[in-house]
Amino acid sequence: MSAPLLHLDHVTMQFGGLKAVSDFDLQIGSGELVGLIGPNGAGKTTVFNVITGVYAPTQGRVLLEGRQVSGMKANRIACCGVTRTFQNIRLFPRLTCLDNVAVAAHQHRKAGLFSALFATPAFEKDEASLRARSREMLEVLGLGNHADSMATELAYGQQRRLEIARALAGGPKLLLLDEPAAGLNPQESEELMRLITEIRRRFSLTILLIEHDMKVVMGICERIAVLDYGIKIAEGSPAEIRANPKVIEAYLGEEAVHA
Amino acid sequence: MKRVLGPLVALVALLALNRFLPTVLNPYYFQVLILVGINITLAVSLNLVNGFTGQFSIGHAGFMAAGAYGSAMFTVTWGQSLAAAMIAAHVPAPVAQGALLLVSLLLGGGLAAIFGYLVGLPSLRLRGDYLAIVTLGFGEIIRVLILNIDAVGGARGLPGIPQWANFFWVFLVATIVIALAVNLANSTHGRALFAIRDDEIAAEALGVDTTRYKVTAFVLGAFFAGVAGGLFAHYLSYLNPSTFTFLKSIEVIAMVVLGGMGSITGSVLAAIVLTLMPEALRAVKDYRMVIYALMLIVLMITRPQGLMGTRELSWAFLTGKKQGGRS
């Protein structure tokens, strides 16, 4: 097998005296849908921040298709094909939905700053294609009617979907979803699961997903890694995770019984 | 066709007004009009940094000073004699002076842009009030440098700059700056700037090179401030460092904030209002600045988002149609 799409090679992230993530090792193959779970404060989002270059890991490396990306700037990593959504929604409040998505399409631009300043025909063409691409992403996420609304005018569930549309517009190979189902009602979660499955197929994505909603995690993930206090305590199929005593002890406890 | 026709019409209109206006306006009104044009350029250029990119710079007067002195020094040392030589070679005087004015403006703008680059660098590490302090310091450094360089007149000022800037040049520059800002706002590069303003971390995560764009905003803003300074120098034909204190920066910030951060039409509108208002208030003599300040306070209380918010004046806006707003 060739190099995995994403390889977290014994990553440690330390903030002062606190080890948020400790010796975390994870490989994700191309096309996989992997879940990352764990109790609050387990270091899940820190893992995302390390992968996307918000932090450089204290120890270990992050490899994308065998190439080291840890230590690179966040925007460079995004251009390598890793985009994300945020746990606490981070849309651009003063931009329209279409523009929110178009910001991410930015990395596919061909026209430079000067052709933009003077609005040359080449620039106009480039801009039209960026807009078309962004509009397409809105359509895919069912937000086609909201292209010209301000991002903040959307309902909460729609804002979550707009974040996904925005992340998709970057044309990622690896999509990181940070609690996409947080705050959604059961029906919306149901819909989200269908949506994730669909975009994955349509854009042949690899997805790493942080989620607390066990129905979502167990329902769509093929493989799950469990973090507790920054340490990976288990990894395996949903069924294995459900049965793992360490996981039940750390976190799943009640849920596993009722699920 | 449209691409050529628009600028052509604007050019002809500016040339016609340049001929016509001085004959109908008295010199005082005319000078106020010129200041309006220069202030429009200043406000729109600062809006690129403060409004578009959300970096709070309060050193704009420094860039203006760099541009003013840079372009004036070129004209005084070389430009004037070159113009004389060109006129002697039967080049029409307005053409020769205009061409050399253009060169001096580009040089002044370029010098200011270099300073803009230097100020832009700390903006990569600092934000908010910290950045404001740094830009304030930088603006003052530029002024104090000028104050202490004897070759540019120091505290005595720099006299004898030929009056080459006129209505045509001032408003040509203002029009160009507005057009470029509009183009920028409607481009992917403009969106990258807005994204940085709204959420830098998200912008970075989506592949926007925030470092490069913040510096670019500073360089562009400083360049046009420098050009505005050059026009100022070539219109008043005398420069003094005391013109470029941080009060001048505050004046331009007031225009940007009052107009609405990020709104180009807002900046233009506020530049006009804030240039005319102190002049109009001369009638009330001693109370002039009191009333001016009160009006600013009342405006900010009633419309904290500025006259235009982040919107632009457009046909849809005027007819009351719902529009998303570009920024």
Is the pLDDT assigned to residue A256 strictly greater than 70?
no
Mean pLDDT of chain A: 90
Closest residue of A to B311, CA-based?
Answer: A94
Chain segment B29-78, per-residue pLDDT in tens: 999 999 999 999 999 999 999 999 999 899 999 999 999 999 999 999 99
Do the beta carbons of residue A16 and residue A7 sit within 8 Å? Answer: no
Residue B156: exposed, middle, or buried by beta-carbon count in 10 A (0-12, 13-18, 19+)?
A: exposed
**Ranges A237-251, B81-95, B307-321: which has the least confidence:** B307-321
Do the beta carbons of residue B222 and residue B115 sit within 8 Å? Answer: yes
Task: Please list the alpha-helical segments (H only) found in chain B.
Answer: 2-24, 27-47, 60-74, 80-88, 93-120, 128-148, 167-185, 188-198, 200-205, 210-236, 246-259, 264-280, 288-302, 315-318
Q: What is the pTM of this model?
A: 0.90
What b/e string do you get for B145-154 counting C-beta neighbours within 10 Å, with b at 16 or more? ebeeeeebbe
CA–CA distances in Å: residue B254 to residues A30, A231, B226, B267, B276: 54, 53, 19, 9, 14
Do the beta carbons of residue B161 and residue B72 sit within 8 Å? Answer: yes
Chain segment B105-125, per-residue pLDDT in tens: 999 999 999 999 998 888 777
Domain ranges of chain B: 38-246
Read off the pLDDT band of A131 (50, 70, 90).
very high
What distance in Å separates residue B314's CA from the closest CA in chain A?
Answer: 15
As a whole number, mean pLDDT of residues A178-198 equals: 92
Do the beta carbons of residue A33 and residue A207 sit within 8 Å? Answer: yes
Residues of B in contact with A96 (CB under 8 A): 324-326
Per-residue model confidence (pLDDT) at position B324 = 40
Q: Check if B209 contacts A (Cβ < 8 Å).
A: yes
Per-residue model confidence (pLDDT) at position B326 = 43
* A/B interface, count of CB pairs below 8 Å: 117
Is the pLDDT assigned to residue A257 strictly greater than 80?
no
Chain segment B240-287, per-residue pLDDT in tens: 999 999 889 999 999 999 998 889 999 999 999 999 988 888 888 788
Q: What SS3 state is found at A224?
A: strand
Domains of chain A: 1-81+173-259 (3.40.50.300), 93-171 (no CATH)
Mutate to test the interface with A, among B206, B305, B321, B327 (most CBs of A within 10 A): B206
Do the beta carbons of residue B55 and residue B131 sit within 8 Å? Answer: yes
Q: Which residue has the tokens 């609690």?
A: A179
Per-residue model confidence (pLDDT) at position B322 = 44
CA–CA distances in Å: residue B133 to residues A79, B119, B120, B214, B246: 34, 11, 13, 17, 11
Mutate to test the interface with A, among B188, B305, B308, B314 (most CBs of A within 10 A): B188
Task: Tell if the CB–CB gap between A106 and B199 is shorter than 8 Å.
Answer: no
Per-residue model confidence (pLDDT) at position A206 = 95
As a whole number, mean pLDDT of residues B231-241 equals: 95
